[in-house]
Amino acid sequence: MFLVGLTGGIASGKSTVSTMIREMGVPVIDADLIARQIVEPGKKAWGRIKEAFGPDILLETGEIDRPKLGSIVFNDAEKRRTINKITHPEIYGEIRRKVLHYLLQGEQFVVLDLPLLYESNKVTSYLFKTIVVTCDDELQLDRLMARNLYSEHEAISRIEAQMPLTRKCQMADFIIENSGSLEETRIQVEGIVRVLRASKRHIRNRVIMGFIILGVIIIILLLTYSYVFGSEETEV
């Protein structure tokens, strides 16, 4: 199995592309979804966030007020580091568990949907290919203002807080231009998935994994042999 990274800019249409990839039968691990799941009431990260930011960060239902927390950490670098220390180990731990699950299922490849793929740079060394979803600057701004009800100033601040899309595109193996119609985007997605499915990378990885497992088994057998027969010689 091999891993493919999917990222983009805020409101560039990454979620739309992620859905299309799933519809083609490709497993997608959504970091945003995991980030929401690990802070559900009663979870370990939920308790630590409540302790770090106080009960005022909670809604009446006990759930974390995500917009409120987002506005707090966005404007405070130290608090942003605090929330990252709480959530990142949980998020990446769950990603590893899901990757192992799909590996054991024999999947050819899995897509990791990571909004801050290049910014965090935590998994790029494990990826075979990366996909960046991009769109026109004005369209990105309009989408973000409409989706989150931000003012123009707020929306621009959120966009500028991320790595520029032009930089991400320079680092990508595949680029999906999402400024047009859904059908135009779907055609691009289908083309990329066809290329990935034609890859033999998963076979290479399985061979390497096979040799590693074989090596471990041989070492265990040698150690066992040495222990058993070494013990017998000592007794004699």
pLDDT computed for residue 77 by the predictor: 86
Per-residue pLDDT band for 203 (boundaries 50, 70, 90) equals low
**Does residue 230 register a pLDDT over 80?**
no
Residue range 76-92: mean pLDDT, rounded: 92
At 35, which amino acid appears? A
Which tokens is 229 given?
A: 């027969």
Q: pTM here?
A: 0.84
Task: Report in angstroms the alpha-carbon separations of 182 from 17, 19, 56, 172, 177.
Answer: 9, 12, 41, 21, 11
Q: How buried is 54 (Cβ within 10 angstroms: 0-12 exposed, 13-18 middle, 19+ buried)?
A: exposed
Model pLDDT for residues 138-186, shown as the tens digit of each residue: 999 999 999 999 999 999 999 998 999 999 999 999 999 999 999 999 9
Q: What are phi and psi of 77, to 5 degrees?
A: -60, -40
Distance between CA atoms of residues 72 and 58, nearest Å: 13
Model pLDDT for residues 15-58, shown as the tens digit of each residue: 999 999 999 999 999 999 999 999 999 999 999 999 999 999 99
Residues 192 and 48: their CA atoms lie apart, in Å, by 40
Choose which CATH entry (3.30.365.10, 1.10.10.10, 3.30.390.10, 3.40.50.300) describes domain 2-200.
Answer: 3.40.50.300
- Strand positions, DSSP E, 46-150: 109-113, 129-134
pLDDT band for position 236 (cuts 50, 70, 90): very low
